[in-house]
Amino acid sequence: MKLTILFLLPLVLYSNECITCHPKKMEQCKNSNHFTMKNEINITRSAWGIKDSNVTLQTLPMPKDTIDKPADLVDDFLRRKCLQCHLTSKEINPTQNLCLACHSPHVNKQDSFKAKPAQEKCLKCHNNNYIGTDYLGLFPHDYDKAYRSPLTKEGNYPKRPYGIDFHHLTPDIHHQKGLNCIDCHKNGNDKKWEDKVDCKSCHSDISKQNHQEYHTNISCNTCHSAWNISNYELNVLRDDTKNYKQWKRLTVQEDRYLEKFLKKALKNPELKPQMPDYLSNKLEDGVWYSGWRFKRWENFFLINDENGKIKIAIPRYQYRISFKNEKGEMIFDDVSQIDGKKLEAFIPTSPHTVIRKAKSCEMCHENKIILDSNLINKDLFQGAILNGSPLLPKQLEKLNSPYYKQQRAKILFSPK
């Protein structure tokens, strides 16, 4: 009888049970960015024109009724387009229980609690254009129907994990060896909940070969990543009209609700344009559409992170914003600058596409994107670099220095 009663207890009690033995872990969780989403929220709000933003998922304001500028729309954009993934989201965690969000691979079975979160749990949120599914070698397709993967021999399109079409590229060597996310992203008692991983924690005996002194300030992933995700300029449009026909080839926009809605709306053009607010769980008027200007995995350039370590730079928080009201009036159209500053940011990253053999020297030292300071200053770095800074003139000189060319010539032309 006791077992039966325990099984029928509301799942929400799990949090109270966990606190009894793990109060520190629970406190770390509640203060973590996974719970508050403060980084993503405040960077986005700042980019859209809200100064000194300092809110969390729990204090994010309700959207404004009167919309005159992008800043009036940003909270609606966050609540209905960005924040589908958070620890209490019904999309990923129907129980809305903090512990079970990560520690149960089967959210409807209370007896499936796992001390070690399964990789599938991580990837349910960490997919799309961020670190996560790149670990498996997955790179998201462009949205248009023409980019769908080739048909299988049965005549069907391949399955789309997480509702996304993927190119299949080189997976991370750690994935190939059978390591899961939690094998590296551990949570020791003496660490913060989201401490970053250092490769040397495991690879303490890294060979000195080809790791000369002048490379000690470069992160491991910079040279040992096969590729990285770089998606530029996310065009976002909130449309409050019933103009669905133009989206016929763009039903797949990495948004499961929107895909289902568009399929219904294309059959029933009088369907009211609505999307859910993922915090209030209510349907609200208007639909958010999106599309990238272009996606790349082959080109990259370098910046310094906040600790002065050289890393690959990736575009983030780059927007072109439009809004059409229910009367069909364009309140603002393709806004790409606010207060004279381009809506654009770059951040240092560590791609999870690690390979044993490093990139060739030429991929950095002969990289025109990196070496052409005019291209970077006039085109790429018109916005901001977050948590880092551009390469210094002296660093750029070293990339193209005679010393590099001499050393490279020795490697290429020395007898084997």
Residue whose entry in the numeric block shows the structure tokens 């000195």: 208
Q: How many distinct helices (H) and strands (E) make up the chain?
A: 17, 15
**Confidence at residue 172, expressed as pLDDT on a 0 to 100 scale:** 97
CA 378 to CA 369: how far, in whole Å? 12
pLDDT confidence of residue 50: 94
According to the model, what pLDDT value does residue 90 have? 79
- CA atoms of 109 and 103, how far apart (whole Å): 12
- Gyration radius of the chain over CA positions: 24
φ, ψ of residue 12 in degrees (nearest 5):
-60, -25
Q: Indicate the SS3 state at residue 61.
A: coil
- Provide the pLDDT for residue 340: 86
Q: Are strands 282-285 and 388-390 parallel, antiparallel or unpaired?
A: unpaired
Neighbours of 83 (CB within 10 A): 20
Separation of alpha carbons 313 and 166, rounded Å: 22
- Phi, psi dihedrals of residue 239, rounded to the nearest 5°: -120, 120
Q: DSSP letters of 107-129?
A: TT-GGG--SS--HHHHHTTS-TT
Q: Are 106 and 165 spatial neighbours (Cβ–Cβ below 8 Å)?
A: no
Of 355, 314, 320, which Cα lies nearest the Cα of 335? 320
- For 260, residues 6+ apart whose C-beta sits below 8 A from its C-beta are none
CA distance 316 to 397: 27
Angle made by CA atoms 34, 169, 248, in degrees to the nearest 5: 75
Within 13 Å of residue 38, how many CA atoms lie on the same side as its CB?
Answer: 12
Express each pLDDT in 154-201 by its tens digit: 888 888 888 888 989 999 999 999 999 988 887 655 555 556 677 888
Query: Euclidean distance between the first and final Cα of the chain, in Å?
Result: 75
Could you say which residues of the chain have pLDDT below 50? 1-14, 107-108, 110-111
Q: What is the model's pLDDT at position 416? A: 62
385: Cβ contacts below 8 Å, ≥ 6 apart? 303, 313, 345, 346, 347
- pTM for this prediction: 0.87
pLDDT for res 330 = 97
- How high is the pLDDT of residue 53? 95
∠ at Cα 162 (160, 166), nearest 5°? 50
φ/ψ of 236, rounded to 5, equals -120, 135
The distance of Cα 262 from the centroid of its chain, to the nearest Å, equals 24
Query: Are the beta carbons of 89 and 60 closer than 8 angstroms?
Result: no
Helix H, strand E, coil C: the string for 270-339 is CCCCEEEECCCCEEEECEEEEEEEEEECCCCEEEEECCCCEEEEEEECCEEEEEECCCCCEEEEEECEEC
AA identity, residue 391: L
Residue 145 pLDDT: 85
Torsion of the alpha carbons at 329, 332, 334 and 339, rounded to the nearest 10: 170
**Which pLDDT tens digit goes with each residue over 306-361?**
999 999 999 888 999 999 999 999 999 999 999 888 888 889 999 999 999 989 98
